[in-house]
Amino acid sequence: MAKFILPALAVTIGLLQVAVPNLSRTYTLVGGRRNNAHYLSPSYTSLLDPLCMLQHTDKFHGCESMQLVELSPTRTVIFTSCLTSYANRPRVLSQSREADAAEGKSRSGDKIFRWDLDTDEVVELELRGMPGGEGGGDRGFHGMDVNYGLEGGRMSLYVVNHRFNGTVVEKFMHDPATDVLEHVASIPTAEGGLKHPNDIYAIKHLDDINAFYITDENRYSTGLMRFIGDYTRRPWGSAHYYSTETRWKLVMTGLGGGNGITGDNKVGGRVYISPHLSGEIVVTDQDASQPGVLKELQRIPLNFMGDNPTLSSSGEDIIIAGYTDPRKMYGHVADRSAPAPGSIVGRISTKQLGSAFFGEKGGYTSTPVVDEMFVDIQGRWINASSTAILREKKIQPLDEEAEIEEDDEVARGASELGDLYITGLTTSGEYAFLLVLSSCP
């Protein structure tokens, strides 16, 4: 008997060494260590009440993705994909799409809007040449990215579209002087072996060959294994690359849910991936000589499950939106009267990534600070935030002649405030809208 005790004890200890850290990390990601009392207190909510404003509630319903583009010094726009009917929201879930297809259900298709921030004009863009017809319901938009500054001032939009018969990447061309998106390509993701595509990052200098990176949430789209993968936070997500030259390439595995992705639009630049189940940002470098090759640089832990990362308008910060209690997400998507998953937005300085903190010496990395700049525990202002964009504004010194302390960045005009734009997938009311937090602290 004794000869079995020691091996059994060793196995038990080994299992505990794996299980305890995983359970501890899960407890953090579902908000177990967050000071909810502080974020629910009048001292916190009274600060945000005068700053938080819902915008264009007649159009921005349950928006999933958005991209900010500075077309000129006097014209900045946001492109965003939104619902026409909340019945289309569950289609971001694989099992809901399969059920709809089996039952032959037709949904009111999603829309893409362009919001001119300087004039406050919102235009629904015509989807000219879109398969299924302009008014067709075969549109369930998920991730989206924009390549701007192309030849002739044109731009391209890449959109992950969950059609009933399978997910594709739709490519559109756009002249910002018009209100038309011209459909030019549909790229089936099943050819690359993707099960549940989510977000997309388009490569600007390779736009002529339709190059992009795309995330895949899980190697299982539905069923028991998908359930196990989600609720035990298995690293079954992946990232893929596509171009008309290379076709599909698997570029990264081992992601705890392949969710959001973005990059700095530089040749050989950085690509940032958000595996939501592991609650982190994966920082990678592209190989400029080999398109579709990513080298992992570091992983930045978050205290929440993040969705889609973006870069601030200056490119100096990663902005990541997510949920304060993701355990409530599926239930709330199915029934908006159910408890809300809340919203949270974090900010990470790109100056702290890689070896930058050490002056690019020795290849050392540090763990950057994650500033939780907006927290909404109950979805009071916006619920289930999927994307956030920070548009910075420089503060000018009030008196350039005044004495300024050497480290007084605010007085020197080096500090930045701005407008924080946040999408919301759901609310407890009729719809979720796009929220703007002005002059965010």
pLDDT in tens, 323-362: 998 888 877 777 777 888 889 999 999 999 976 555 555 5
pLDDT tens by residue, 378-428: 888 888 889 999 998 755 444 444 444 444 443 333 344 688 899 887 743
Distance CA 385, CA 343 (A): 5
* Residues β-bridged to residue 198: none
Sign, CA dihedral 334-336-337-341, equals positive
CA angle 195, 384, 141 (to 5 degrees): 45
DSSP secondary structure string, 395-414? PPPS-TTS---TT-TTTTT-
State the pLDDT at residue 27.
83
Best CA proximity match to 276, nearest among 29, 48, 82 = 29
Q: Under a CB-based contact definition with an 8 Å cutoff, are residues 296 and 282 in contact?
A: yes
Distance CA 429, CA 368 (A): 37
Continuous segment of H or E residues that includes residue 24: helix 2-29
Q: Under a CB-based contact definition with an 8 Å cutoff, are residues 318 and 283 in contact?
A: no
Sign, CA dihedral 288-290-291-294, equals negative
pLDDT tens by residue, 232-287: 788 899 999 999 999 999 999 999 988 999 999 998 899 999 999 999 999 999 99
Distance of CA 69 to the CA centre of its chain: 16
Helix (H, G, I), strand (E, B) or coil at 103: helix
Distance CA 116, CA 121 (A): 5
Instruction: Indicate the pLDDT class of residue 31, thresholds 50, 70 and 90.
Output: confident
In the predicted model, what is the mean pLDDT of residues 86-96? Answer: 61
Distances in Å between the alpha carbon of 336 and those of 26, 340, 371, 428?
24, 8, 29, 5
pTM: 0.87
Sign, CA dihedral 384-346-277-92, equals positive
